[in-house]
Structure 1
Amino acid sequence: MHVVTGATGRVGGATAVALLAAGVRVRVVVRDPARGEPWAVRGAEVAVADLRDRDALRPALTGADGAFVLSPFDLAAVDPLAHAEEVATSVAGAAADAGVPHVVALSSGGADLPAGTGPVIGLHRLEEALRGTGAVVTALRACHFQERVADVLAVAREQGVLPVLAGSADDARPQVATRDVGAIAARALLARPERSEAVDVLGPVVSEREVADVLARVIGRPVEPVVVPEAA
Structure 2
Amino acid sequence: MKYILLGSLGHITKPLAQQLIAKGHQVTIVSSQAAKAAEITSLGATPAIGSVEDIDFLSATFKGADAAYLMIPPKLDANPWKEWIGGVGRKYAQAVKASGMKKLVFLSSIGADKPDGVGPVSGIHLAEEALKTLSGVDVLFLRPAYFYFNLFAVIGLIKQAGIYGNNFGPDRKIVMVHPRDIAAVAAEELLHLSFKGVSVRYIAGDERNSRDIAAVLGAAIGKPELPYVPFSDEDTEKGMIAAGLPEEVAKNYTEMGVAARTGIMFEDYQKHRPALSPTQLEDFAKEFAAVYNS
Q: TM-score, normalised by structure 1?
A: 0.92
Taking a change above 3 Å as real, the CA distance of residues 163 and 72 of structure 1, as seen in their structure-2 partners, is: farther
Offset of 1:118 from its aligned partner? 2.4
1:15 and 2:16 matched: yes
Taking a change above 3 Å as real, the CA distance of residues 126 and 159 of structure 1, as seen in their structure-2 partners, is: same
Point out the more displaced range, 204-213 or 43-52: 204-213
Match for residue 225 of structure 1? 228
- Once the two structures are superposed, residues 159-208 of structure 1 have per-residue CA deviations (whole angstroms, 9 ceiling, x without a partner) of 32223232x12322321111101110111111111332111112221122
Listed as ranges, the matches of 1:108-123 within 5 Å are 108-123=109-124
Distance in 1 between the 2:118 and 2:217 partners? Answer: 29
Cα pair 1:176 1:203 within 8 Å, conserved: yes
1:205 and 2:190 matched: no
Match for residue 152 of structure 1? 154
Distance in 2 between the 1:36 and 1:196 partners? Answer: 33
Listed as ranges, the matches of 1:77-96 within 5 Å are 77-96=78-97
1:176 and 2:185 matched: no
Q: Which amino acid aligns with 1:229?
A: S
Higher helix share: 2
Distance in 1 between the 2:92 and 2:184 partners? Answer: 22
Point out the more displaced range, 192-201 or 96-105: 192-201
Higher strand share: 1
Taking a change above 3 Å as real, the CA distance of residues 45 and 170 of structure 1, as seen in their structure-2 partners, is: same
Cα pair 1:176 1:204 within 8 Å, conserved: yes
* Count of residues paired in the alignment: 231
Distance in 2 between the 1:36 and 1:211 partners? Answer: 38
In structure 1, the gaps of 5 or more residues are none
Q: Percent identity?
A: 29
Cα pair 1:155 1:161 within 8 Å, conserved: yes
Match for residue 136 of structure 1? 138
Point out the more displaced range, 168-177 or 26-35: 168-177
Q: Which amino acid aligns with 1:228?
A: F
Q: TM-score, normalised by structure 2?
A: 0.73
Cα pair 1:138 1:199 within 8 Å, conserved: yes
Match for residue 60 of structure 1? 61
Partner-residue secondary structure (3-state), 1:26: strand
In structure 2, the gaps of 5 or more residues are 238-294
Q: Which 4+ residue blocks in structure 1 deviate beyond 3 angstroms?
A: none
Partner-residue secondary structure (3-state), 1:52: coil
Q: Which amino acid aligns with 2:123?
A: G
Taking a change above 3 Å as real, the CA distance of residues 163 and 12 of structure 1, as seen in their structure-2 partners, is: farther
Q: Which amino acid aligns with 2:118?
A: T
